[in-house]
Amino acid sequence: PPGVINMVPGPGPVVAPPALNHLDLGGIHFTGSTYVFSTIWLAVGSDIRKYYSYPRIVGETGGKDFIVAHASADVDALVAALVRGAFEYQGQKCSAASRAYIPDSIWSRVKDRLACEVGEIRMGPVTDFRNFMGAVIDAKAFGTISDYIAHAKATSGFEIVTGGRCDSSQGYFIEPTIVQSQDPKSKLMQEEIFGPVLTLHVYPESKFDEALDLCDQTSPYALTGSIFSTDRQAIVKAMNRLRHAAGNFYVNDKPTGAVVGQQPFGGARASGTNDKAGSWLNLERWVSPRTIKETFLPPTDFRYPYMAEE
């Protein structure tokens, strides 16, 4: 019926206050940054007694999504996933691959293939479908992403494997950039960049278990992630060890591209409430069930049968 869904476009600082301050606020379904979501939750929680009901709060926020490679990984498939996962849509989506863990035994092959594949990426207007990448969204995003690349260039322990150039003369273009980090807990391995920057750490092949722990513990986010391996035991181990590190977990596939209605999407930790958009799990958050009992033969005596005198 008319009025069930209303579209009210506008800036967040303008649209949000009237909704958050209304006594009838029933719920919030937010997609955006982790900081803004926590701010909204704080605002609702601090005034919880003024609402007629307890507002339901659902959020899908940021991510520092990962790809972990095992020594048995198919290098060609791994490289394709790294390139697609990190650089489609200029890396400007919450599920984009932003960090990777590669064993030293296959790193030289992965590095050479990455350099070759990334070198083939065409950039330009998105109206030309031959272009794999376009410009980033605006000047603010360009500045933020450029700052991360500048930090990598100026800080010891980082190596620019490929890319690294930024040009805002005709649109906000940033080359697909791959950075190798010696420190698995460096700034670029932990923080969401939301741009075409993939940071990777090379680990000793014998320390696969430790690499899984690093992946689980390094970032506060838990949205998407992948394991690449042809060893079933390694796959199962990764699935179990990383069960809390990614709400959407992929095996031998890039950590992007969840199909709405087929692959419920969402993550926990700093990535949101994991209420799985695109499924009945999310729908149930927005209904308020009511139970009705009707008695056709109501009792006329308050005494229960077991209370009768013998």
Active centre residues (catalytic) = 60, 94
Q: What is the token pair recorded at 70?
A: 């095992």
Task: Tell me if 56 sits within 8 A of 285, measured CB to CB.
Answer: yes
Burial (0-12, 13-18, 19+ Cβ within 10 Å), 127: exposed
Integer angstrom CA distances of residue 119 from 20, 86, 115:
48, 14, 6
In the numeric block, the tokens 């690294």 are attached to 164
